[in-house]
Structure formats: structure tokens, C-alpha cells
Structure 1
Amino acid sequence: MAGEQNPGKAAAEQAMALLMRPVRHAVNNLSMVLTANLDSALPRLPEGEIVRRQVARAREAAQDYDNLARGFLALGRDEGSRPAPAGKLLQELLPLLSLAAGGPLELQVQGSAVVERRSPALEGALILAVSGGAEIAGGTRAPLRLDGARLHLPWPVPSTAREALESLGAVVEPEGEGTAITLPT
């Protein structure tokens, strides 16, 4: 029947909600142990040796994994609101923003501002906003630019992102071929 949810899908959603906090805790612990042990081993390895380069690459990959996993798992957090530095918020989200945009993104931060971080809604809205970059053909993308609380995207944002951002108190304006988003403060 229309409007009724599949019981299997409902059970899977309930299981996700039930497991989100313990999985987040386990991933944080695993990442911490992995990076701490690689950090400890790296200085003990001889300079110039292949194994040192391999461990250094593993350390870098572990850090990338940690950043990506933490960002993704944060989307499952309970709703909450707190002040946060805009630059730190976007740096934390950058691995997920790059995935949503379909390729690597650079973030240039100029100035600083404290914004109202309404999690996970703001993070989700920003991820949707940069997904507009996935429509851009391959090649190098212009960087995202953060001036205080104003984020400049070099492309238009999808209407769902605009609505979500505006519902959170952000101001979304066209800017040339792109979009300027003034994050809520």
C-alpha cells in the first residue's frame, strides 16, 4: 500500500539508529589506535627505506580514513546547536564535500567567524550544496572560498540545498556563475 513503509526497511533504519553511537565510538577508537601506532613506529624506521615510505603512506591513509569516517558518522548524531568556527567546520567536512562534489575540493579560508552549527542539519545542507559541483565536467575545480561566515561556491546549488540552508537561517544568493552562502551566526 502507498504510504506504508516496508517492514524490512523500517527494521534496517531502526538498527542504524540503534548502532550509530556504538559504531561511532568503535571507529573513533580504531582510528586512534591505528594512527597512534603508526605515529610511534614511523620515527623508529630508517630514513630513505621503502618500509618507512610505506608506513608514512599508511599513516596518511589512516588519517584520511579517520577524517572521512568521523565526518560521515557525525551525520548520525542527535540534533544539537552550538557555536563553532566556520573554518574548522568546513575543514572537518571537506572529505565529505569532496565526495559530494565528485572530486577533490580545495578550501581557501580568509578571516574567521563563529557560526551556529546546527548538527547534523547544517552539515547535510552543505553537502547537498556542494553536490552541484558534481555536474561540472572533469578537470580542476575552482576552490571553495570562505570569507568569515560567507562561503563562495563556484557553481549553483541545488534547490533542495537552498531550501535546507535557508531553513537553518543561512542566506543563499547567486554570485556570478556560482553561489554565496552566508552561514547562520
Structure 2
Amino acid sequence: MTEVAETMEAVSRPVRHGVNNLMMVLLGNLDLILRGAAEGSAVARQAGRAKEAADRLTALLSGFLAMPRDPGVTPSKPGVALAALLPLLDVVAGRSVRLEDEALPPVVWARPEMALALLGWALEMSGPDIVPVLRLTPDPSGGAGLTPHPTPRASTPQFAAAAAACGGTWDGTVLVLPYAP
């Protein structure tokens, strides 16, 4: 692991802990306000919107703060790992990223290489008509095939690095992740 990666991992632990504590306070207090507010009241509506925003913030920060955590290769359910990154990908892409996945067994997941490849792809989204989609299907080679649409351009090296880190393949359109042993 590089010095930068070690520093990021070390810094992310206390930040993650602090964010979790703050979000617990926010969400707990919003739940109390919602329980005490009259149904349909302005307070209930405002607290409900604040709770939705806090829930989205929690998901976004969780995806971001998980990137430097436990770098290396671990078995992961690909649909779950991708779903955890969606709030972050949505913000980076500037639009909703759709996940089309089949329930697949755990794959070899390289952290942070997978997240970095997907974030690079999300940065490539431009034009109002683009609908970013991540399609996860069984691959005939015996792994899980991850097909990003539109096809990555500038982030191709990151996809190649992610494939190399997990022992998979990248052919320029499909990233094949081997199933975990």
C-alpha cells in the first residue's frame, strides 16, 4: 500500500466514526420530532424532508468513506457492493445511475480500485440524454460481468487496473469479476 493510501485509510477511520455519531444524533432527533408532530402539519412535512435528506446524506457519506477502508481484495456480493456506491455515483454523474443486477454469488472485489473505476466512469457522463446504467449479469467465462453504459472512454485504464487487482478481465466493454472461492 502506498503512503497516500495508508494516510487516507488512517484519516478515514476517525472521520467515519465522527460522521456516524453525528448522523445518529441527527436521525434520532428527527425521528423524535416526527413522532411528536401532528400528522400533516408543517413541522411533520419539514421534519420528513429533513429526515429524507439526512438518509440520503448518510448513504452518500457511507459510500465515500468506505472507499479507503480495508484496501485489498475481499469476497463481496456484487449487487450489494454496487448499490452501496450508487449515491456517490449519482452525485458524481450529476444524475441517477441505474443498477440492473441479477442476484449473483460473491465475487472477488478489489477495494479501492473498483470504486475508483466506477467514479471515473461517472465523471464521464455528459449530455442531458445520457442515462448511465450498470448492468450485472453472469458471464459465460464463469464470473460476474459488469457492463457500464455508456461504455467508458477516459476511465478505461481504471477498469483495467480494477480487473488486474481482482484477477478478472476488462475487454473495453465488460469487466469480468471472478467468483470468490
Q: TM-score range by the shorter chain?
A: 0.7 to 0.9
Please state if 1:58 is matched with 2:56. no
CA distance in 2, matches of 1:98, 1:183: 23
CA contact (8 A) 2:120 2:158 kept: yes
Q: In the alignment, residue 162 of structure 2 is paired with which amino acid?
A: L
Alignment partner of 1:137 is 2:132: no
Q: How many residues align?
A: 169
Quick check: 1:85–1:112 contact (8 Å CA) kept in 2? yes
**Cα distance in 1 between the residues matched to 2:47 and 2:131:** 31
The aligned counterpart of 1:151 is 146
Q: Which 10-residue stretch deviates more, 105-114 or 19-28?
A: 105-114
Whether contact under 8 Å (1:152, 1:180) holds in the other structure is yes
TM-score (norm 2): 0.78
Look up the match of 2:170.
172
> Which amino acid in structure 1 is aligned with residue 57 of structure 2?
Y
Structure 2, gaps ≥5 residues long: 139-143
The letter of the residue matching 1:145 is R
Seq. identity, %? 36
Paired residue for 1:184?
178
SS for the counterpart of 1:129 is helix
Matched AA of 2:168: A
* Equivalent position SS for 1:162: helix
Asked if 2 retains the 8 angstrom alpha-carbon contact of 1:130 and 1:153, the reply is no
Q: CA deviation at 1:56?
A: 0.9
Deviation at 1:94, TM superposition (A): 0.4
Cα 1:31–1:85 change in 2 (3 A) is same
Unaligned runs of 5+ in 1: 1-9
* Root mean square deviation, CA, Å: 2.6
1:99-110 equivalences in 2 (<5 Å): 99-110=91-102
